[in-house]
Amino acid sequence: ALISLRQLLDHAAENNYGVAAFNVNNLEQIQAIMEAAKETNSPVILQASRGARSYTNDVFLRHLILGAVELYPDIPVVMHQDHGNSLQTCLSAIRNGFTSVMMDGSLKEDAKTPSDFEYNVRITADVVRIAHSMGISVEGELGCLGSLETGKGEKEDGHGFEGTLSHDQLLTDPVEAAQFVELTKVDALAIAIGTSHGAYKFTKKPDGKTLAIDRIREIHRRLPNTHLVMHGSSSVPQELQAEFRKYGGEMKETWGVPVEEIQEGIKNGVRKINVDTDNRLAMTAAIRKLLSTNPSEFDLRKYMVPARDAMKKVCAQRMVEFGQAGQA
Ligand code: G3H
Ligand code: 13P
Ligand code: NA
Ligand code: ZN
């Protein structure tokens, strides 16, 4: 059945587990997640970015997800808007069947700095007022995602800020977080604790301290009833990178977020963990492999099947690692 993010994450909090939120853009990605969920008996969060909605089309996307709900009646499914950037985006998501929306007001479109607290509160509170009247959950975001190693903060459009940001600018302030939730009433809060989007998170092998775990703990202490969200949580496994490169893919040396650190985050209040890059990498590596080892192949099912299997494997692994396996 389709459920709200609040319903799922309340259960996750009561039972001390985390839930992966996987990005979806097409049929095969939805199939991969649902098969992984069935295999591991997991509840799922399917999330679509603005780009995914325009790539797939809202009507196709709604019917694909309703198809998944019909085919897997025992698996709870949350349909979530990832990184909504306006009231209008969140409202159109709700009209199209989403049961949860993210209003990412952490940056204004033309922001030069990563903080406009009043704007963020105003727009997020507006979304919450409307969404809650319809039983829809809301995720907000406070802080600037970015790597503590490189000091590179990211803007909402994926391009970085000029120059290097201090740790204070890169980490969500716990006092502000408490004020933000009090003023907006969001169900879930994305926090900046050292992660960033995409494949290039860290240039060195992580030393076990890539995330600001103390900061997570402090925010959770002040906000025990608000579910914390970690964006940029792909682990970018070295084996997947090697597979991608082996068949002609180009990727500089890089490291993602170690799963053990995510598990430490879950112990301290993180409930929703966003993963997209790992699945993109797994699918693309599988397609590269099939096509380069079978250059005469042109039946798309021949490369979409291994791609879907590769994504299913990543998803099932994360479901077990984050603790949602067995919780459907
Ligand atoms: O946060 C971004 C997600 O990885 C989705 O990316 O905007 O390219 O669809 P996208
Ligand atoms: P990754 O790029 O680390 O997979 O993060 C995805 C994400 O945060 C989507 O909102
Ligand atoms: Na942000
Ligand atoms: Zn994100």
Q: Which domains does the chain have, with CATH numbers?
A: 5-322 (3.20.20.70)
Query: ∠ at Cα 264 (195, 219), nearest 5°?
Result: 70
Residue whose C-alpha is closest to residue 105's, from 87, 93, 131: 87
Strands 19-23 and 44-48: parallel
pLDDT tops 70 at residue 148: yes
**Which of 104, 197, 201, 278 has most ligand 1 atoms within 8 Å of its beta carbon, as the pocket-test mutant?**
197
Q: Look at residue 144 in the predicted model and tell me its pLDDT.
A: 82
Q: Look at residue 156 in the predicted model and tell me its pLDDT.
A: 57
CA 259/CA 211 separation, integer angstroms: 11
pLDDT, tens only, 19-67: 999 999 999 999 999 999 999 999 999 999 999 999 999 999 999 999 9
Q: Which residues of 98-109 are buried (b: 16+ CB within 10 A; e: fewer)?
A: bbbbbbbbbbee
pLDDT tops 60 at residue 158: no
Tokens read off for 307: 């791609």
* Ligand closest in space to the Cα of 232: 2
CA 171/CA 176 separation, integer angstroms: 11
Residue whose C-alpha is closest to residue 243's, from 179, 314, 192: 314
Residue whose C-alpha is closest to residue 226's, from 176, 277, 185, 183: 185
From the CA of 172, how far away is ligand 3's center (Å)? 10
Torsion of CA 197, 199, 202, 204, to 10 degrees: 170
CA 121/CA 140 separation, integer angstroms: 9
Tokens read off for 253: 């040396």
Q: Residues enclosing ligand 2, CB less than 6 A?
A: 23, 82-83, 197-198, 231-234, 274-277
* Ligand closest in space to the Cα of 233: 2
pLDDT, tens only, 62-120: 999 999 999 999 999 999 999 999 999 999 999 999 999 999 998 765 555 666 899 99
pLDDT, tens only, 219-257: 999 999 999 999 999 999 999 999 999 999 999 999 999
Q: Is 35 left (phi over 0), alpha (psi -120 to 50) or beta?
A: alpha
Percent of the chain scoring above 90 in pLDDT: 88
Burial environment of residue 24 by CB neighbours within 10 A (0 to 12, 13 to 18, 19 or more): buried
Residue whose C-alpha is closest to residue 188's, from 87, 78, 304, 49: 78
pLDDT, tens only, 185-201: 999 999 999 999 999 99
From the CA of 201, how far away is ligand 4's center (Å)? 13
Type of residue numbered 193: I
Q: How far is CA 59 from CA 4, 83, 88, 213, in A?
A: 20, 19, 17, 40
From the CA of 159, how far away is ligand 2's center (Å)? 14
Residue nearest to atom 1 of ligand 2 (CA): 232
Q: Look at residue 105 in the predicted model and tell me its pLDDT.
A: 92
Torsion of CA 136, 140, 146, 147, to 10 degrees: -70
Tell me: ipTM over 0.90. Answer: yes
Strand-pairing partners, residue 252, are none
CA 133/CA 129 separation, integer angstroms: 6
